[in-house]
Amino acid sequence: MKIVTFNSTMKITRTLFSLLTICFLLSSCGIYNFTGGDTGKAKTIQVDFFRNVAPLIEPSLSQKFTVDFQDLFLRQTNLSSVKSDGDIHFEGEITGYTIVPMSATADQAAAQNRLTITVNVRYTNRFIEKDNFERSFSFYYDYPANTQLIGSALETAFNEIIPRITQDIFNASIAKW
């Protein structure tokens, strides 16, 4: 049986404390960000409301997308949100909200439908103009054809699609993946 002495316990405690301190300093002072995002000199972010201009409109989509998009950037960066004149600026619109049948049953009825949401995004970085872009991002959610996309079914679809699109935008703009 190995006996742990007070000195060895103190060494372990000191080592763990040192490692945690280094991790905290690296993540909080902007040298390194564990999400992979580099905001450079930028200190503020402006996210404009993403209007829904798709031919088929779901009323709650614009608000949910805009809030979730802004929340992602506030969680994964050290940027502060501003209403105007942000160092980093996102604007755009929801351009697609489509539902199409994906697979058929033996009697030629739809067995599964696919909801696809498309968002056009304009990204402007005041400090790194070469990174600016305008681009479309989309993702989909497949669901049984006998399910109506209302209530919790719609929420489930949004919870699958929106995080994927917002993360793709983050990766294209800040993380540069």
8 A C-beta contact, residue 109 and residue 145: yes
**DSSP-based three-state secondary structure for 72:** helix
Q: Is the domain of 50 the same as that of 114?
A: yes
Q: pLDDT tier at 25 (50, 70, 90 boundaries)?
A: low
pLDDT in tens, 10-21: 666 676 666 656
Question: Are 17 and 55 contained in the same domain?
Answer: no
Contact 164, 119 (CB under 8 A): no
CB 121 within 8 A of CB 160: no
Do 28 and 53 reside in the same domain of the chain? no
- Provide the pLDDT confidence category of residue 109 given band limits of 50, 70 and 90: confident
Rounded mean pLDDT, 110-128: 96
Closest to 45 in 3D by CA, of 174, 177, 176, 175: 174
Q: Which residues, 6+ apart, have CB-to-CB distance to 5 below 8 Å?
A: none
Do residues 55 and 133 both lie within one domain? yes
Amino acid at 78: N
Can you tell me the distance from the alpha carbon of 137 to that of 166, in angstroms, rounded to the nearest whole number?
9
Number of structural domains the chain divides into: 2
| Predicted TM-score of the model (pTM) | 0.77
What angle (nearest 5°) sits at the alpha carbon of residue 90, between those of residues 87 and 96? Answer: 175
How confident is residue 39, by pLDDT bands cut at 50, 70 and 90?
confident
On whether both 14 and 49 belong to a single domain, the answer is no
Lookup: tokens for 97: 């909200």
In this structure, the answer to whether residues 87 and 60 fall within a common structural domain is yes
Domain that holds residue 109: 37-175
Q: What is the CATH number for 154?
A: 3.30.160.150
